[in-house]
Structure 1
Amino acid sequence: MSLDQSIPVFRRGYRLQWEEVQNCHVILYPEGMAKLNDSATMILELVDGKRSLAEIVLALNTRFPEAGGVDDDVADFFAAAREQKWIIFREPL
């Protein structure tokens, strides 16, 4: 399976949420939470269990054409999110 076609999903028990007290989006999980910056939030808001990694990259490149391509940055982010155990990847249906 190509990683580009794999679909990122939040691990069970993990979710993206606006946290009023923190005044930012966070990843909530059983052991706590992680505060997110705006870039991380924009990426994770596209994680819907339907879009592939390639589709997420395309959506971000379309939204931010002035960035000149976010492919590597998004791939690096998802590698870190996977390492943090926020995200898993599944094969397309």
Structure 2
Amino acid sequence: MADDFTIAPGAKPRLPRGVRLTHSEAQGGWVLLAPERIFKADAIAFEILRRCTGEATFDALVDDLARTFDAPRERIHADVTKLLAGLAEKKLLEL
């Protein structure tokens, strides 16, 4: 389902109440902690998630990542959409 998911350009992704992004020595990196759930974030997921504050729009987030990593915007858009849609399905992110 996340493969054909569309995120509105003006959506402001954010972590829902009770979910937080934190560094865990036990997990060896960054994780999303939620009640009775944990999602290990690799370096790319961390860069995306740390920008999901509810302030920046989805388009601004994609633009920032494309600029920061000097990568094609279309590729960044597809990767970010896939990650955020998957997390939204699991109730680990609000769009």
Pick the TM interval, shorter chain: 0.7 to 0.9
1:22 counterpart = 2:27: yes
1:60 counterpart = 2:60: no
The total of aligned residue pairs comes to 87
Equivalent position SS for 1:13: coil
TM-score normalised by structure 1 residue count: 0.86
Q: Equivalents in 1 of 2:33, 2:72: separation in Å?
A: 32
TM-superposed deviation, 1:33: 1.2
TM-superposed deviation, 1:32: 2.6
Q: Equivalents in 1 of 2:37, 2:78: separation in Å?
A: 29
Q: Unaligned 5+ residue runs, structure 1? A: none
Percent identity between matched residues is 29
1:83 counterpart = 2:94: no
Letter of the aligned partner of 2:37 in structure 1?
G
1:41 aligned residue: 46
TM-score normalised by structure 2 residue count: 0.85
- Describe the superposition over 1:11-64 as per-residue Cα deviations: whole angstroms up to 9, x where unpaired: 111010000111110000111311111111110011112011111101100011
Q: Unaligned 5+ residue runs, structure 2? A: 1-6
The alignment yields a C-alpha RMSD, in angstroms, of: 1.3
- Describe the superposition over 1:40-92 as per-residue Cα deviations: whole angstroms up to 9, x where unpaired: 11100111120111111011000111x32211111111111111111112xxx
